[in-house]
Amino acid sequence: MTCSRRDFLKDAVGGTLATVMPLSAFTFLSTAEARTAVEESKVRWAFLVDTNKCVGCGLCVKACKNENEIPYDAEVTRTWVERYVITKDGKTHIDSPMGGRDGFTSMEVDGEEIDPDNIEKAFFVPKLCNQCDNPACVQVCPVGATYQTNDGVVLVDRDWCIGCGYCIMACPYGVRFFHPVHKVADKCNFCYHRISKGMEPACVECCSFGARRIANLKDPDDPVTKIITTERVAVLKDEYGTKPHVFYLGLDANVR
Amino acid sequence: MKWHVLRPLWVAIGLVGALLVARVFLVPDDFGVHGRNFTYGFYRLSNVQEWKDFPVKYQGREGCVECHDANVETLNASSHAPVECENCHGPGAHHPDDIESLPLDTTRQLCLRCHAYLEYPNSARGSLLSIEDKRHRRRSECIKCHNPHDPKEDMR
């Protein structure tokens, strides 16, 4: 086998380029960056809703809208309360006028008068973002505007969101909406600005009945974490595999 | 061979190059994979801090008691103790700087949120003291007779 000097140099340069070029696709982390990437956060936020305690006053919805600057009279909200009235004929009547913002003050459900003697059971179910472990909304974002922080909360980058609405369609729980003022996708973030300062979310603070509570799942001494880990709790739409982190006590099979 | 057939290729390569150059200027430095993987953690890192800096509006009872200790004391001793001040008085974080900023809600509608009778026997709502809106002094505000800080007190 013969090899001219020219061919040898050509192959050497080509070979070096072929090895080095793909390497440039890797990012080299600084020591600090590598450490944060490997180290796990000491916080995993979760939520506990006790549907037995909810009376449907809607003060949580009011507080949420005020705290998070969601236009008060727009038909969008980060959290809402649903009323379920199950009648003896097996029908389920559901309503949530303005997300329950003004509470439930009449027996009428969605414009329909229901005979009290015909009611089998009736209850209220507060809903909010589930801060899933496998958030479908994050997977579909084409620009990286929505993401999961390392304490489990899913946030939306308002400067980066292009308002395409994929995430709104992807969320199986319907918690996302288009913010009418900022023109971007918006959702509940457990009041991230409050929980990161050691405060409770606005809806939790304003709930007079203890129906809403926030928990840090990684703190075994957290009283709410103890309830979630030791009592019989349920999540919404478990079959979607999103691993939701809003846990419900007393969840009825009729709740969708 | 005519090389002009290659011209569209040079244009395409030029466009890709221009995009890569534009990307350097448009994409923030802290944009990248910060979470557990590319699928869930591909974002602009400084946005987390931006959300943390979002202004707080509900300060909680601890803030109210600093000046209004008498009212908070009355409230704490009453059956309305679990009700937050700001549920009726409005979000108060800016109130110490701007006294006028509190939108106090004295409407009948506010009280009815809990106290309108709904005949739901197995719901927590059924066990609250409540009125039938259509029968109980329809035109007056509740606070004309009832003291919300101490509901047992008769103000008539």
The domain of A90 spans 45-130+189-249
Whether residue A150 is contained in a domain is answered as yes
Domain co-membership, A117 together with A143:
no
Is the pLDDT at A175 greater than 70? The verdict is yes
Domain co-membership, A153 together with A120:
no
pLDDT in tens, A177-232: 999 999 999 999 999 999 999 999 999 999 999 999 999 999 999 999 999 999 99
Residues in B touching A106 (Cβ below 8 Å): 116, 118, 133
Residue A79: φ, ψ to 5° = -135, 155
> Which of A24, A79, A149, A155 is the best mutation test for B, with the most CBs of B within 10 A?
A149
Q: B154 versus B135: which is more confidently predicted?
A: B135
pLDDT in tens, A117-171: 999 999 999 999 999 999 999 999 999 999 999 999 999 999 999 999 999 999 9
Question: Global pTM?
Answer: 0.86
Return the CATH number at A154.
3.30.70.20
Domain co-membership, A152 together with A93:
no
- The distance of B8 to chain A (nearest Cα, Å) reads 25
Domain co-membership, A146 together with A119:
no
Domain co-membership, A64 together with A181:
no
Domain co-membership, A67 together with A173:
no
Separation of alpha carbons B97 and B99, rounded Å: 6
Domain boundary among A171, A186, A201: A186
Whether residue A32 is contained in a domain is answered as no
Separation of alpha carbons A182 and A163, rounded Å: 10
Closest residue in B to A108 (Cα–Cα): B118
A66, B41: Cβ pair inside 8 Å?
Answer: no
Nearest to residue A46, comparing CAs of A250, A235, A205, A253? A235
B58, A123: Cβ pair inside 8 Å?
Answer: no
* Model pLDDT, residue A178: 97
Mean pLDDT computed over B134-150: 89
Which residues are B33's β-sheet partners? B42
CA distances A212 to A75, B40, B122, Å, are 23, 27, 19
Whether residue A229 is contained in a domain is answered as yes
* Model pLDDT, residue A144: 92
Domain co-membership, A93 together with A171:
no
Nearest to A196 among B44, B52, B91 (CB): B52
Domain co-membership, A173 together with A49:
no
Domain co-membership, A140 together with A201:
no
Domain co-membership, A63 together with A119:
yes
Separation of alpha carbons A98 and A62, rounded Å: 10
Q: Predicted confidence band at A38 (pLDDT cuts at 50, 70, 90)?
A: low
Least confident of A30-34, A101-105, B17-21, B149-153: A30-34
**All structural domains of chain B with their residue ranges:** 61-144
Domain co-membership, A224 together with A124:
yes
Instruction: Please provide the average confidence, as pLDDT, over all residues in chain B.
Output: 89
Torsion angle of alpha carbons A236, A241, A242, A245, nearest 10°? 50
Question: By the 8 A CB rule, do A122 and A236 touch?
Answer: no
Domain co-membership, A74 together with A181:
no
What's the total number of domains in chain A? 2
Whether residue A27 is contained in a domain is answered as no
Question: By the 8 A CB rule, do A152 and A143 touch?
Answer: no
B128, A59: Cβ pair inside 8 Å?
Answer: no
